[in-house]
Structure 1
Amino acid sequence: MTRQHHPLGRLAARIARTFGGEAGAGILLIAVALAAILAANSPLAHAYHQLFHGTLPWSPIAKLNTLHLWINDALMALFFFVVGLEIKREVLDGELSRPDRRRLPVMAAAAGMAVPALIYIAIAGGTAGLSRGWAIPAATDIAFALGVLALIGKRAPASLRLFLLTVAIVDDLGAVAIIALFYTSTLKLGWLAFAAALLAGLAALNRMGITRAWPYVLLGGVLWFAVLHSGVHATVAGVLAALTVPMKLDRGGDSLLLRMEHAMAPLSAYLIVPLFGFANAGVALGGISLAAIASPLPLGIALGLFLGKQAGILGTIWAAHRLRLAQLPSSATWPQLWGMALLCGIGFTMSLFIAQLGFPTSPELVEEAKLGVLLGSLASALGGYLVLRFSARPA
């Protein structure tokens, strides 16, 4: 059964049509962010926070005793599963499969993560307790950035979208590695060994040529449960499980990986990510002043996203071009490349997620981090849109 005729495939296509593709995903994220901010600054503020952070009367997993934890540790594992599927497809048969194609976006993505982190450290690293937030401005929100680019339409060359997508995918891979390496609590070796055995089982299914979904879903769910209790953040299980899903094409040119990605990508973009955004973007604006915005944590994040991303990415593209290390995206002008680099400063989903991991015991710092993420992402989105809008060639 092909992706188009599979029931989940038909559902995915219907969801994508309903929301208007990439532009719709970006607009939906903007809408839920605004809704969360309005809820957090209205008479509904207490109900909003109680909904997500209040202790549930019952939970099948004691470790996840709030709706916020279910969203961040369980639903976001599905988001990372989709990210893992996308990364594997691109590495095996996409823009990351050939050295000449991946060289420039990989270099740009690496610099686009390093420079924001350095700016954050320069501004906030010297303040006690803030150094753990260094990775917050290093992330890029794929859906948000591509959604804003989609608003430009055909006036931006297709190569620009492809380059942005590739940079964002490499950025996501870097973010997953950062979460696994730097935001891991005390390891529990028993659970970790159990997770390793489950991962080996998933790899064995792939080696045996199993192409039915349910064994991967079953073992993947148990793997997530084991990783949740191992000390490694549970979302890493999503990426690890995705990397074991078979990519080999059948006689009809289809594969289990393509079917899963086709079915789950719209559900992730239009349900999981917006729900995460609504649960995490609510910032109480009462009492916020210029002094508060200029404090080290929000200022370091905002400037890291807005200045660091464009400086790292555009600077790397310019240097690679001057040194003849890689070719520029075809038909893209320098102003358009600048606009694309600005869009990479939209951190939203991943930045908010890392903020929760960076300051797990300090709600006050998380709120400050959210403010920096929203300010930096908003400035990057508006700046990128305006640069692309006025540099775009007529359709």
Structure 2
Amino acid sequence: MNGKRILLIIGGGIAAYKACELVRLIRKNGAEVTCVLTEGGSHFVTAMTLAALSENPVHTTLWDLKNEVEMGHIQLSRAADLVVVCPATADLMARMAAGIADDLATTLLLATDKPVLAVPAMNVRMWQHPATVRNVATLRGDGITVLEPDEGAMACGEYGPGRLPEPPEICAEIARLLAPASPGPLTGKHVLITAGPTHEPIDPVRYIANRSSGKQGFAIAAAAAQAGAQVTLIAGPVNLPTPPGVARIDVETARQMAAAVDAALPADVAIMVAAVADWRSADTAGQKIKKDGSGQVPPLHLVENPDILATLCKSDRRPALVVGFAAETNDVLAHAKAKLARKGADWIVANDVATHVMGGEINALHIVSAAGVDSLPEMPKDAAAAALVRKIADVLS
């Protein structure tokens, strides 16, 4: 971090007091800090405190005559090596996601051409609200790094995810983002990954799904990002943090996933890990289907979902390497070989999910291709992901 310049935007939440310690740690690590204090943040910490800790002027308003005659918000937004929003409140992230620029903080965020790190802190219900989930997904899709909040007791008396991570953890993430990028084996490649299940609604309460946790797909996304790739992760409904450096798009149904895959093209590699539901209900009830006391079960008419893997393999924008997954409970290799021929993929990665794999922490992968079968021993899913990514990098090189 030596010689780096950090622009720190302080949002209006009780966690703002930790920004003072963060300023101290950043400077201790050799970087310079310039603070932007929002109106809300000024209710928790003072500009005087931040100026004393940073040894730089603190900026508070868009309407500073001298600075704005010189287009100060443009210069401020681009003079830093990294923009950090801490704490990033629900309101501040909502305005960031919407592209609103109604104060100094949001204006410079819209004007910056530098990497942005957002560190959320809010009440657990606010963090889990669909609007916040949607906004976080938008920010990550825009390339903003959003840290996962810590879980624990909060100032409001509730318990759960939403606490600001401790300043040393935030400082470590800042150092990671500022570290010189060493070219990885997938540097310059766009890797498209699907992960998790899909949920196919029957009525507003019930849906068709499977036991996929998304852990293997997320581990592959993390390994690809660590290898230097630009990673787009299209995730079904799972409760997993987004790996660092990964752009995540959340979907629910197979049709939504198919549309997201098409929109994410072109890509150099597609790794279709998601356990997509083969069928969906032909008709989705607008209200909960009720028992009528007759003992008769209402019919459930199913129709096939789009075959995302087969469609991708036939696309005129087909990636150079298409990797499908096959979760099997019997005759694993036979089914994988048949799927390879049927779908037109380059590889099918097969695994036996009859026991502990779905939702578990370990996996044994069999990479089936026209050249034969390459079987990996049982290992943790992150290790299996790293091994698969190494093989993909070898092929592309």
Which TM-score band (shorter chain)? under 0.3
Choose between structure 1 and 2 for higher RCO, CA contacts under 8 A separated by at least 6 residues.
Answer: 1
- By percentage of residues, which structure has more strand? 2
State TM-score, norm by structure 1.
0.21
Q: What TM-score, normalized by structure 2, do the two folds share?
A: 0.21
